[in-house]
Amino acid sequence: MSLPIAIVYEYPAPWLVPVESVPLKKVLAVMVLQANQFIGCRAIQGLELHLVDDAVMAERNAQFMSCCGPTNILSFPGGEDMPGVLILSLDTFTRECILYGQQKIFHYLRLLSHGIGHIAGLDHGEEMDTLMAKCCAVAIASVRTAGSDINNKRSSLTLAGEDLTVN
């Protein structure tokens, strides 16, 4: 199956992104395919992930959500000819990892699965929690982490299976 996945870097310090773009595209595709199998979800035809800083996130949060200040992730469902869009603030993400003592790669996967759940049409609640758990599980099952990400080092992700085509 071919699934269009795009990653747009709008961040001044790309070395803070916790995973390389090629494995990340494959991880996102696995998560989207899991969401598409979840009963009651809107089918996701493609996905764009925008990685931004807090300044850009605050602008987008005000523009689209009428909220003041940055947030960790925003999601927009897209449509027939448009992919779903995730906007993730790497500044907020990094700050949350420090504040909550979470490993970057696992917090990253949780935020992405949360955004994918919203794109799939779910609100906060048990269904969202179940989908997030399933998305994270398939993402983790399809990758091996090499090394530790605790010291703000980039995680190296390698997919266990290579049978998925990602555009």
pLDDT in tens, 122-143: 999 999 999 999 999 988 877 6
Q: Over pLDDT 70: what percentage of the chain? A: 78
DSSP lists the bridge partners of residue 48 as 6, 85
**How does 62-84 read in b/e, with b if 16+ C-beta sit within 10 Å?**
eeeeeeeebbbbbbbebeeeebb
Listed in sequence order, the residues at least 6 apart from 92 whose beta carbon sits closer than 8 Å to its beta carbon are 54, 57, 70, 71, 72
Give the number of domains in the chain: 1
- Interior/surface letters 4-24, b for 16+ CB within 10 angstroms, e for the rest: ebbbeeebeeeebbbbeeebb
- Listed in sequence order, the residues at least 6 apart from 57 whose beta carbon sits closer than 8 Å to its beta carbon are 70, 71, 74, 87, 89, 91, 92
How far is it, in rounded angstroms, from Cα 32 to Cα 5? 10
Q: For the stretch 88-109, what's the b/e string if a residue is b when 16 or more beta carbons lie within 10 angstroms of its beta carbon? A: bbbbbbbebbeeeebebbbbbb
Element (H, E) at 51: strand 47-52
Instruction: Calculate the average pLDDT of the chain.
Output: 82
Q: Give the DSSP H/E element, type plus range, for residue 118.
A: helix 104-119
| Full-model pTM | 0.82
Q: Domain of 94?
A: 2-166
Cβ(40)–Cβ(127) under 8 Å? yes
58 falls in which pLDDT band (50, 70, 90)? very high
Give the CATH number for residue 92.
Answer: 3.40.390.30
pLDDT digits (tens, 9 = 90+) for 72-103: 999 999 887 889 999 999 999 999 999 999 88
